[in-house]
């Protein structure tokens, strides 16, 4: 079989512009590997590159940070991975190791991180170069199309919940039932929390319960704070829907010393009454991604508990359509690009 010398990639060439191109296959540098990509999730954070508002983003740039594939070339000095090994690359694809955060052991908040699809080319492509130190080992039992969204959406929700102040048996609310929220409710239920879903519309109650929610609050027809207090007050609310107003409405429903943990980035301001924070000693915190080890633990927990994303798959040639539908919230619930050895695109339950 003749070795391929070129590969296809979808490249952001300017703000708002995505173009399918063919490029020469690159050789990995020291400490890098070349991955033959099988699947790449399409995440809302990709808009930072595609729309051009990521600080310092330069063009052309290949988006994508939920990448799963197999190693097909090793750079000099890479000894901990093998050819053919299944690996993934998430949002945080490497750290500098020398900034104040890294020196303090806080790799997630590295001041000069390698970020897939923003500072380096990502996974909207048949081939991708990646730093070996940023690779995630993928369990054999997880299909590439299922593992890909777990590398960002899964990691974000799982890590935020397990590092929150909530403990098994506590009331935990998932605000939103979209790309992040539908995974958040599954993780919350399997972590032993009394799980509430907060979303807009009574019609979403059935899905919420199918995913494991014990309770459902319709934010369109109920006072969210009062409804949460009627259940005893939430120890933690996980803010997964990009609505500052929607997140703010949950704060009065927190229990004493409860937390609103924000993982989605809303377009509107998150306006909160200081009274609601002071009386009850409540807090609002942000949670950002996780380390390589965190990601491997997310995948292991998802595999153990049979937690899977709900996805729709698209061929690489339809990346523009996948991105546009994701941005319009018209995907249920994660869009995944498939290429190389992955199955034919189509609906995936």
Say whether both 213 and 319 belong to one domain: no
- Three-state SS at 147: helix
Domain ranges, residue 191 = 164-286
CATH of the domain at 250: 3.40.50.720
Here the tokens at position 127 are: 């081939």
pLDDT higher than threshold 60 for residue 1:
no
- The tokens for 333 are 């619930």
Q: Please, are residues 238 and 174 in contact by the beta-carbon 8 Å criterion?
A: yes
Whether 54 and 177 share a structural domain: no
**What residue has token string 């098994």?**
168
pLDDT digits (tens, 9 = 90+) for 232-265: 999 999 999 999 999 999 999 999 999 999 999 9
Residue 1 belongs to some domain of the structure: no
Whether residue 231 is found in the same domain as residue 336: no
Residues 114 and 73 occupy one common structural domain: yes
Cis peptide before 170 (omega within 30 of 0): no
Q: In angstroms, rounded to a whole number, what is the distance separating the alpha carbons of residues 280 and 252? A: 9
Record the tokens describing residue 168, joined without a space.
Answer: 């098994």
| 114-143 confidence digits (pLDDT tens) | 999 999 999 999 999 999 999 999 999 999
Q: What is the CATH number of the domain that holds 26?
A: 3.90.180.10
Instruction: Supply 249's token pair.
Output: 């409405």
Place of tokens 């988006």: 63
> Distance from CA of residue 105 to its chain's centroid?
22
Same structural domain, 10 and 146: yes
Q: Write down the H helix ranges in 24-141.
A: 47-50, 100-103
Residue 21 has pLDDT above 70, yes or no: yes
Average pLDDT on 154-161 reads: 98
16 and 78 co-located in one domain: yes
pLDDT at 341: 59
Closest CA to 249 of 223, 230, 268: 223
Asked if 280 and 182 sit in the same domain, the reply is yes
DSSP classification of residue 343: P
Is 201 inside any structural domain? yes
What percentage of residues in the chain have a pLDDT greater than 90?
95
How many whole angstroms separate alpha carbon 149 and alpha carbon 41? 5
CA distances from 23 to 10, 69, 121, 129, 278 (A): 10, 18, 12, 13, 56
Residue at which a domain ends, from 286, 319, 339 = 286
Average pLDDT across the chain, whole number = 95
Same domain, 256 and 315: no
Q: How far is Cα 106 from Cα 100, in angstroms, rounded to an integer?
A: 9
Residue located via tokens 């890479």: 78
The answer on 314 and 220 residing in a single domain is no
- Residue at which a domain ends, from 257, 286, 315: 286
Among the residues of the chain, which ranges form H helices?
Answer: 47-50, 100-103, 144-149, 155-162, 181-190, 205-210, 224-230, 244-248, 274-278, 292-305, 319-327
Cα 96 to Cα 45: distance, rounded to the nearest angstrom: 22
Cα–Cα distance between 318 and 297 in angstroms, integer? 32
Q: Is residue 159 part of a domain?
A: no
Q: Do residues 256 and 281 lie in contact, with contact meaning Cβ atoms separated by under 8 Å?
A: yes
Query: Is it true that the peptide bond before 333 is cis, omega within 30 degrees of 0?
Result: yes
The tokens of 191 are what?
A: 């972590």
Same domain, 258 and 321: no
Same domain, 142 and 38: yes
Q: Final residue of a domain: which of 235, 268, 286?
A: 286
Number of domains in the chain: 2
For the stretch 284-319, pLDDT in tens is: 999 999 999 999 999 999 999 999 999 999 999 999
Q: Are residues 144 and 52 in the same domain?
A: yes
State pTM to two decimals: 0.94
**Could you tell me if residue 158 is inside a domain?**
no
Q: How confident is the model at residue 332 (pLDDT cuts 50, 70, 90)?
A: very high
């Amino acid at each position: 079989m003749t070795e391929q010398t070129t590969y296809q990639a979808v490249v952001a060439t300017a703000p708002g512009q995505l173009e399918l191109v063919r490029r020469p296959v690159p050789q990995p540098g020291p400490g890098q590997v070349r991955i033959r990509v099988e699947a790449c999730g399409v995440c809302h954070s990709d808009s930072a590159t595609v729309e051009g508002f990521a600080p310092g983003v330069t063009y052309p740039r290949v988006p994508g940070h939920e990448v799963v594939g197999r190693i097909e070339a090793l750079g000099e000095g890479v000894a901990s991975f093998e050819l053919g090994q299944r690996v993934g690359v998430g949002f945080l694809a490497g750290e500098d190791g020398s900034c104040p955060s890294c020196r303090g052991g806080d790799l997630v908040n590295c001041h000069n991180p390698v970020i897939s699809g923003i500072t380096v080319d990502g996974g909207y492509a048949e081939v991708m170069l990646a730093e070996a130190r940023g690779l995630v080992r993928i369990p054999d039992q997880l299909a590439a199309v299922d593992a890909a969204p777990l590398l960002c959406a899964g990691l974000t929700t799982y890590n935020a919940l397990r590092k929150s102040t909530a403990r098994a048996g506590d009331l935990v609310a998932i605000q939103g039932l979209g790309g992040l929220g539908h995974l958040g409710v599954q993780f919350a239920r399997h972590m032993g929390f009394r799980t509430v879903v907060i979303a807009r519309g009574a019609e979403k109650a059935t899905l919420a319960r199918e995913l494991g929610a014990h309770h459902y609050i319709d934010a369109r027809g109920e006072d969210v704070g009062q409804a949460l207090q009627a259940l005893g007050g939430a120890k933690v609310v996980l803010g997964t829907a990009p609505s500052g107003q929607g997140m703010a409405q949950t704060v009065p429903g927190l229990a004493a010393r409860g937390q609103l943990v924000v993982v989605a980035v809303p377009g509107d301001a998150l306006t909160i009454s200081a009274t609601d924070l002071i009386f009850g000693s409540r807090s609002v915190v942000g949670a950002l991604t996780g380390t390589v080890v965190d990601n491997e633990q997310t995948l292991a927990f998802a595999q153990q508990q049979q937690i899977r994303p709900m996805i729709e798959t698209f061929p690489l040639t339809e990346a523009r359509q996948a991105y546009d539908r994701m941005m319009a919230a018209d995907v249920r619930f994660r869009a995944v690009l498939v290429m190389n050895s992955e199955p034919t695109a189509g609906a995936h339950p």
